A and B are shown apart, each in its own frame.
Chain A
Amino acid sequence: MSEWVLQGLREGVKSTRYPKRAETAAGVSPGLPSDTSCDDPQRARSIAGLCPTDALLASDRTVTVDRGRCIDCYRCARATPAAMRWDLGYEWGSPTDEGLQDSSRRLGSAFGRSLHVRVVDGGDCSACLSEVAQLTGPYYSLHRLGFFITPTPREADALIVVGPVTPAMRPLLRATYDAMPAPKRVIAVGACAISGGIFRSTRDEQEGALGVIPVDVVVPGCPPPPLAIIHALLVTVERAPARAVAQ
């Protein structure tokens, strides 16, 4: 048994310093495209045409990004000549309009240092859940920030939803949300939960978690890296300023 203690000590401290300091290690974020201007409208249209999920919109000489739809296929990044600017950051959590306006849904300051989160899998590909699982590992050590994953909705203050929310999962997501005591907030994690992502069918406009329960904060990405999910949690309890993200 003592051997394990020694091994644990030998590993040293691995945890990121974020949010006190920016994390600069390589490979912590897959990045997302950012709004980009180019030489002529023709080129802007052809770049926007590369996107398989209609996340890019060309208007005159700029290509704007609907980040909630981006699935990280890198087509616009790898086009030649190089096309979209790439944001390699991770502070992507942003409140939805409804989440900002409805003050009754805000969590009080008491939740700032102790937030319990229930995770619901609405049919993800397991990449988002894998990133959520990394949160409690040594590198991200979610607990140091006062955030805890809880197995019961009764103890949960916030709900993380991943996946496009399949028809079979809709009533279950609703039931989980209803079982949570108020005030409560919902975080849609990943392109699928926000917009349906690659699984969006053209017939149904409202896909992802937004069509089922009220969503307060969204984190784009496919999947959003652990640091982006941490940022969204900080935004949820108003410990991080919500960055205006181009929609």
Chain B
Amino acid sequence: MTTLRDGELLRAIVARWGDGVGVERSASSDALVIDARRSVLPGVAHWLASDRQMRFATALAVSEHDRLKVHYAFCGIEAPGWVELVSTPDAGAPHASLRSVLPAAYWEERRISEETGTRFEGHSDREALPASAEPGSFTMPVGPVYSGSAESALFLLETWGENVVRAVPRLFYKQRRLERLAEGRPVRDALLLAERCNGRSAFAHAWGFARAAERIFEIDVPERARMLRTYLAELERYRAHVAVIREICESTGLAVATSRAAILEEELLRLSGELCGHRYLFGLIDVGGLTRDFDDARLIATVERLQEIHGGLRSLGAALRFEGSFFDRLENIGVISPEDVREYDLVGPVARASGSGEDLRLLRPYGGYRRLALRAASEDQGDGAARMRVLFRECASSLRLVRQVVPGLRAGPVCVPIVPRTGSALASIEAPRGAAFHWLECDERGAVVRYRLAAPSFRNWLGFHLGMERFSFQDFPITLATLGLSVAESDC
């Protein structure tokens, strides 16, 4: 299999950028490292993202010989491996920012500057609210502690009464610094931190972390574990989507629909609890496979129960479709255009509701997805209603995937022992809320040296304002619910 380290990309870079870049294959990982001069850095980044169709994953500050360098990671869509674009500042000068060519890099750079004190060109010390263009308007804070049992986050609503000009999120009250806490811990313990990045997509993030570690240790995960992971991940996606559907019903004040969705959600939680002990699938993933095996008959019974629950979800969906007062509140609210999705590199159901067909299960298949039939659920309208349709369609496709896994299961081990080794790896996973990137570096004892979890919510909150312009007050909770963003996942 050709990887990004192989000749073609390397030659293309040298041919195009010549003396402006130094290119080498990394000694400790699958990466192709491009050291770019400041003058060509934004150009190379733009070229990788647009001409070469690579996805910007995340950025990391690396200290080399007392100098802080910023590594921007780009994933190839076709070939495995990744590209690290390295930016080295001139002595005493601030780092160049990629914000203008790659808006998604902005929060990654801000995170680096807050952690290390590094300065980036064009970033102000403290992000001030843009001066209001609307005479007579004022800013109304919502949060950080608000509503019944909402996550802690602050929203600044610029308004003059009934209408809101825009809403600006102020996050990171929940920052637990789990990436820092992971440093020095053995990979198996650090995995527990990744799992608790977001409880509602715990399995996906634990799997992403495990994939990164398995890549470093060069572990071939047993076939049975790969298929079971796929099965459990789809069970989780189904439940995570139903939870968002429940929140959407709740935000519109439709009590019976909220109750019916809550019944489905609790039944799914009980289904998980019955199958594997934990209602949120904690403690199942291990580096090298799974911590336990499952009885095939139990897996089949679970699929049958899921099928029953899906009958309930379909009837809820049908009832909502004919409820004009419900759909009127979802249509044309929080519209995000396909152009905005591309520019801000938005991910997951939010992007797929705005015409994007991107789904890492298809683009960079992992686990059992290579062998399973799957189509990306895509809608064009980009409004709240489209986002809800995507959730319903993805629930149906998760059920189909879970059904496909069981007949192909062969008996065999579900975990292999690990032999630690030094190295680094970048792994990607399609979590329920979208693409997540796990960048992990280990030492020879198998302890974490560096860890970065670029979660889908972190990416999508950056685009939050795109759907939050010029709306009326009562649409705020509805738009917020249809975006389905997690604060915990972003503030990890």
Contact = CB atoms under 8 A, between A and B. Distances in A.
Given A26-B273, A120-B152, 5 more contacts: A3-B322, A27-B271, A30-B279, A30-B282, A223-B279
Nearest to A72: B282
Interface stretch (A5-13, A94-102, A238-246): A5-13
A4 B256 contact: yes
B202 to A, nearest CB: 7
A80 to B, nearest CB: 11
B266 interface: yes
The 7 A-B residue pairs with the shortest CB-CB distance in the complex, in nearest-first order: A127-B199, A27-B273, A137-B262, A27-B270, A27-B274, A123-B174, A74-B283
A38 interface: no
Contacts of B189: 52
Interface of A: 3-5, 7-8, 11, 14, 25-31, 52, 71-75, 77-78, 119-134, 136-140, 149-151, 163-164, 166, 168-169, 172, 176, 197-199, 201, 222-223, 225
B196 interface: yes
A104 B193 CA distance: 39
A7 B270 contact: no
B192 A71 contact: yes
Contacts of A132: 149
A5 B260 CA distance: 12
B487 to A, nearest CB: 8
Interface string B192-216: 1100111110100000000000000
A134 B200 CA distance: 13
B7 to A, nearest CB: 44
Contacts of A151: 146-148
Interface of B: 144-152, 172-176, 178, 181, 189, 192-193, 196-200, 202, 243, 254, 256-257, 259-260, 262-263, 265-266, 269-275, 277-280, 282-283, 291-292, 315, 319, 322-323, 486-489, 491
Contacts of B172: 168
Contacts of A169: 144, 152, 173-174
13 contacts: A4-B254, A4-B257, A4-B319, A8-B259, A26-B274, A27-B279, A31-B277, A124-B488, A134-B269, A137-B265, A139-B266, A166-B173, A168-B175
B145 A164 contact: no
A225 B269 CA distance: 10
A3 B318 CA distance: 12
Contact of B263 (A122, A138, A176, A225): A138
A123 B145 contact: no
Contacts of B269: 27, 134
A73 B192 contact: yes
Nearest to B147: A151
A225 B260 CA distance: 20
A210 to B, nearest CB: 17
A120 B145 contact: yes
Contacts of A25: 270
Contacts of B149: 119, 121, 129, 132-133, 149
A5 B199 contact: no
Contacts of A78: 291-292
Given A28-B273, A119-B148, A166-B173, A124 B199 contact: yes
B181 A125 contact: no
A177 to B, nearest CB: 11
Contact of B151 (A27, A77, A121, A150): A121
B178 to A, nearest CB: 7
A87 B202 CA distance: 23
A121 B257 CA distance: 26
A138 B145 contact: no
Contacts of B198: 125-126
Nearest to B259: A138
A140 B486 CA distance: 24
A85 B295 CA distance: 22
Contact of A14 (B199, B263, B278, B487): B263
Contacts of A71: 192, 196, 282
A169 B152 CA distance: 8
B199 A73 contact: no
A130 B271 contact: no
B460 to A, nearest CB: 15
Nearest to B196: A125
B173 A123 contact: yes
B175 A123 contact: yes
Contacts of B260: 7-8, 11
B270 A28 contact: yes
Contact of A125 (B199, B272, B273, B323): B199
A4, A27, A128, A151, most chain B CB atoms within 10 A: A27
Contact of B199 (A4, A27, A28, A130): A130
